Amino acid sequence: MAKGLTKRQELILQYILDYIQKEGFPPSIREIGRDFQIGSLRGVTVHLDALERKSYITRANTPRSIRVIHPAYQVSNKVVMLPLVGSIAAGVPIEAQEHIEDMIPVPYEMVRNVDKAFLLRVRGDSMIGDGILPRDLVVIKPQKTANHGDLVAAMLGDEATVKRIHFDANMNVKLMPSNPAYQPIEVDREDSMVIGKVVGLIRDYEGMAF
């Protein structure tokens, strides 16, 4: 038996480890409850609270956020959990908890050298020329500057958009779509800013609608 754990806690810990090894991301509370025949979410969280208190796991206040941290139970780093960010207010830190909709598993190789990477869900079809489709998740490397032609995430008011950034000879800025049905966006607003560079893309084919 693992030191300091009840038999039930040890079984749940092993279940979490096996699930991560198989799926690449942690189980949900509902899945743990189902597979251990625990009738309520609270019944599951009691065990998870104990595992967290004993420093075997850590959790965030989002779905599928369980992470095993005990040195004796480390699992492969083939994935990392990145925050999927919803609406963002200019000037508010990206990692602010109130803007995180979910935690999503992302291949480690995609973000191995990126600190505080996050995800945005693409809305609309303005970037289909770059192979970016509606509902895709783009992986963002946080940064406030960009080079001409970079594929960036930028804030326009309280909304984030993904476009290619262009500078003219006078350093005027335009955000360029890659779909001819859309017009470039001239950036001359005080509430606009670059928040990051697109470094990866994740697509859920089952969830796509055409």
pLDDT tens per residue, range 55-103 = 999 888 777 888 888 877 765 556 777 888 876 555 555 555 557 787 7
**What's residue 88's pLDDT?**
57
Domain boundaries, given as residue ranges, for the chain: 7-76, 80-207
Residue with tokens 């925050």: 83
Distance CA 77, CA 110 (A): 12
Residue with tokens 């083939």: 78
Span 92-151, pLDDT tens digits: 555 555 577 877 878 877 887 788 889 999 988 999 999 999 889 999 999 999 999 999
- Among the listed residues 40, 55, 87, 126, the single catalytic one is 126
| The amino acid at 11 | L
- Beta-carbon contacts of residue 34 (< 8 Å; ≥ 6 apart): none
| The amino acid at 148 | H
Span 182-210, pLDDT tens digits: 999 888 767 788 999 999 999 876 554 43
Q: Which helix (H) or strand (E) holds 46?
A: helix 41-53
Q: Which residue has the higher pLDDT, 8 or 111?
A: 8
Distance CA 115, CA 126 (A): 28
**What's residue 89's pLDDT?**
53
How far from 81 is each of 35, 63, 115, CA to CA, in Å? 23, 11, 12
- Among the listed residues 163, 174, 192, 197, the single catalytic one is 163
Distance CA 79, CA 65 (A): 13
Same fold for the pair 7-76 and 80-207: no
CATH annotation of 7-76: 1.10.10.10
Q: Does 178 participate in catalysis according to the annotation?
A: no
Q: Does 126 participate in catalysis according to the annotation?
A: yes
The matching CATH number, chosen from 2.10.109.10, 1.10.10.10, 3.30.420.40, 3.40.50.300, for 80-207 is 2.10.109.10
pTM for the full predicted model: 0.62
